[in-house]
Amino acid sequence: MRAITWDASVSGILPVQVPADAVWTQSPYGATFRIGSTITARDGPVLGVTPWPAKITPAWSAEGRTLCAAVPEREVAGAAMHLERFTFEEPVRVVASGFATYSDNAVYPVLACDTTNDRAIVAQFGQGTAPAKLWVFRLSTGAVIRSVDYAGMLGWVAASADGTMLVETLPFDTASGRWSANIRSADDGTKIGQVDGVVGRGFSGDNTLLVGASDSVAALIDWKTGRAVWSASGPYGGFLAEPAGRRLAVGIGFIGGSDQRDVYLVQPDGSAQLLPARVRVGLRY
């Protein structure tokens, strides 16, 4: 495992090894990692084990000690879905139950888990490709603040890491296949911005930049002005945002699930540095 600062000025090896076939993610500040189901500190000690199987990819909260996952009560069609919260050195807690029923033809990603803003956002994607439903929860109580039934209308939906904003993408020109990404308040659905021509994949840590993708270009866009801060040719391959900042790691050239891609560290001024070849980064999609 190698650590690199967001401005690429410092890089070094950590005393942590990751099996080549392991599923792993890092906490927002990179102080802790989930490798399989094990939580490991950056300096090596094991801090605990999450209660979910390795195939479940939970969402990290900004403080780096809490994770959220949406899982079925039992892995049987029709079982009640749970939103669960795990904090280091504490038992797992069921935040909400019964908001959906489990289908083995769907996936239930947690799009946001934020203890500071007291929000969690869960989506249901049919066969992993099309958003069907979405729920905004108060994380402390499990109360549903808002639910949305997309009924196949959207191409994609993503959330800001703090759970305050959504970006909903739909075709605005069916003939040409162009997309329109609509930015909305997560709590009440109020539209606050629109960027045409891309699928919205997420936001920078300070929520000022939209990660946008088309068939052949990935870009970072100031969604209030529509200005592209940075772009690169090639298929979109995921991103990782600097917490509360404007720097991002963006993958280009994702090939068939094999982790073969270029990863750029993009700075607020639009300059970018290409990381060494074959570097694997825990990117979101």
CATH of the domain at 165: 2.130.10.10
Say which amino acid occupies 22: A
Q: Give the pLDDT of residue 17.
A: 87
Task: Report the distance separating Cα 232 and Cα 10, nearest Å.
Answer: 24
User: Which tokens hold the place of 10?
Assistant: 């410092």
Q: How many domains does the chain have?
A: 1
Task: Report the distance separating Cα 185 and Cα 193, nearest Å.
Answer: 10
- End-to-end, the C-alpha distance of the chain in Å comes to 21
Cα 138–chain centre separation: 19
Q: Which residues contact 173 (CB under 8 A, 6 or more apart)?
A: none
Number of residues that this document lists for the chain: 285
Asked if residue 17 is part of any domain, the answer here is no
* Burial class of residue 40 (count of CB atoms within 10 Å of its CB; 0-12, 13-18, 19+): buried
Residues 236, 263 contacting (CB under 8 angstroms): no
Q: Give the pLDDT of residue 72.
A: 97
Task: Report the distance separating Cα 74 and Cα 115, nearest Å.
Answer: 27
Cα 143–chain centre separation: 22
What are the pLDDT digits (tens) for 79-106? 999 999 999 989 999 999 999 999 999 9
Q: Give the pLDDT of residue 277.
A: 80
Task: Report the distance separating Cα 46 and Cα 35, nearest Å.
Answer: 10
Asked if residue 225 is part of any domain, the answer here is yes
Asked if residue 223 is part of any domain, the answer here is yes
Residues 35, 14 contacting (CB under 8 angstroms): no
Task: Report the distance separating Cα 220 and Cα 272, nearest Å.
Answer: 12
Asked if residue 46 is part of any domain, the answer here is no
Asked if residue 159 is part of any domain, the answer here is yes
Asked if residue 137 is part of any domain, the answer here is no
Domain span at residue 204?
Answer: 154-285
Low-confidence residues in the chain, pLDDT < 50: none
Q: How many CB atoms lie within 10 A of CB 10?
A: 9
Asked if residue 27 is part of any domain, the answer here is no
Asked if residue 169 is part of any domain, the answer here is yes
Task: Report the distance separating Cα 67 and Cα 25, nearest Å.
Answer: 11
Task: Report the distance separating Cα 179 and Cα 100, nearest Å.
Answer: 29
